[in-house]
Amino acid sequence: MKQIAVISGKGGTGKTIITASFISLSKSAVAADCDVDAADLYLLLHPEIKEKHEFKGLPKAEIIQDKCTGCGICYDVCRFDAVQKPQNSKKYFSINPLSCEGCKVCYYACLQMAINMKEQICGEWYISETKYGPMVHAKLGIAEENSGKLVTVVRMNAEIVAKRYKLDYIIVDGPPGIGCPVIASLGGIDFALVVIEPTLSGIHDAERVIEVAKHFGVPPGCVINKYDINRENSAKIEKWCKENEIPVLGKIPFDNLVSESIVKGIPFVEYKNNATSGIIKGIWRKIMKI
C-alpha cells in the first residue's frame, strides 16, 4: 500500500481537482480528505456516509458555580482572557469556551477546586462509500482547534480501511500551507505532489512546503497548474526545481472546462477527454512509475 499526498503552499491552487482526478484514475484507492478546516473533496466524489464518529479535542475549563467563591485567582492566571468577570451583581466567574485553550493553569491554581476540565466535541469524522471506492473525511467545528489531531484520525482510519479492503493506494487531499495539519498529512507518506500556481506568492509558498516535505523525508514532485497565465513565472519554477533536483511532473494549462466540471461535481478526467485531462493522466502515470 502506497500513500500519496497532494499538497500546496497556499489555498486555491487546484489540488482538490487534481486529487479527485487521481482517485478516479486509481481504481484501487482510499480517498482521504485531510483538509479538515475546509473540506471540499466530497463535492466531487459525492460520498455516502456509512459511519459517523464524534471527534473530541482537548478538554476545556468549566467553573462549578456552587464551589466558586469569586476570589479571582483564575482570572489573574489566565493568559488567554478566557475567564470572565462576574456580571449583573453575581460573584461567580465564568469561562468563555471559545477563548479557552485547555492549558489547565486555572484548574491547578484554583484553591477551591471549583474548576473542571470538560471534554469537548470539536467535530465529526466519517467513513463513506463513493463510486470510486471508500473515503475517509472529517469536519472540524467552527472556531475549534486540534485540526492536526483530526487529520491524524483521518489518516489512521484510511490505513485501516485500505488494509481491510486490500487496496493499493491512499490518496490524500492535503491542507494548504505548512502548519500542523500539513505536518500531520505528511507523516508516513511515500510521495508528495506539490501543486504550484505561477504567481509570486505561489512560488514562495511552494518552496516552503517543499522544505517541510523534505524535512520529514517525503520525496516531493511538482505540478504547475495554469502555467500559461504567466509563462515567465512558470519558467522560474522549473529552473528552481531543476536546481533543487525536484521533478516537475507536468504543466497543466488554464482550461475553462475545469470550472464546468466543478459545477457539475465530476472529477475532470471523467468529465472531459481533452488535452488537459490527458496531461493529468500523464502525471498520474509518472507518479506510478516513481
Tell me: the pLDDT tens digits for 136-185?
999 998 877 778 899 999 999 999 999 999 999 999 999 999 999 999 99
d(CA 232, CA 63): 59
Task: Note the pLDDT tens digit of each residue in 216-262.
Answer: 999 999 999 999 999 999 999 999 999 999 999 999 999 999 999 99
Give the pLDDT score at 97.
86
In the block, cell 465529526 appears at 124
How does pLDDT run across 180-205, given as a tens digit for each residue? Answer: 999 999 999 999 999 999 998 888 99
Contact 112, 68 (CB under 8 A): yes
| Rounded mean pLDDT, 203-214 | 93
* Integer Cα distance of 55 and 126 in angstroms: 10
HSE of 132, CA atoms in CB hemisphere, 13 A: 28
Q: Where are the domains of the chain?
A: 2-56+125-289, 60-118
pLDDT for 231: 96
Query: Would you state the pLDDT for residue 77?
Result: 96
Cell of 142: 467552527
- At residue 277, the 3 state secondary structure works out as helix
pLDDT of residue 142: 80
H helices of the chain, where?
15-26, 42-45, 73-77, 105-109, 147-164, 180-186, 200-215, 231-243, 256-264, 268-271, 275-289
pLDDT digits (tens, 9 = 90+) for 35-84: 998 899 999 999 999 999 999 888 899 999 889 988 999 999 999 999 99
- As a whole number, mean pLDDT of residues 26-39 equals 93
- For the segment 21-27, the average pLDDT, to the nearest whole number, is 95
- Which residue's C-alpha cell is 495539519? 181
Residue type, 86: P
Ranges 13-17, 96-100, 143-147: which has the least confidence:
143-147
- pLDDT for the residue 89: 64
Classified by CATH at the fold level, domain 60-118 comes out as Alpha-Beta Plaits (3.30.70)
pLDDT the model gives residue 201: 87
Using the Cα atoms of residue 241, residue 247, residue 251 and residue 257 in order, give the sign of their dihedral: negative
Confidence of residue 215 (pLDDT cuts 50, 70, 90): very high
pLDDT, average across residues 81-98:
84
CATH number of 2-56+125-289: 3.40.50.1820, 3.20.20.70, 3.40.640.10, 3.40.50.300?
3.40.50.300
Spell out the residues 6+ positions from residue 155 whose beta carbon is closer than 8 angstroms to its own. Answer: 32, 34, 170, 172, 184, 185, 187, 188
Q: What is the pLDDT of residues 270-288, one digit of tens each?
A: 999 999 999 999 999 999 9
Alpha carbon dihedral 278, 280, 286, 288, in 10-degree steps, equals -110
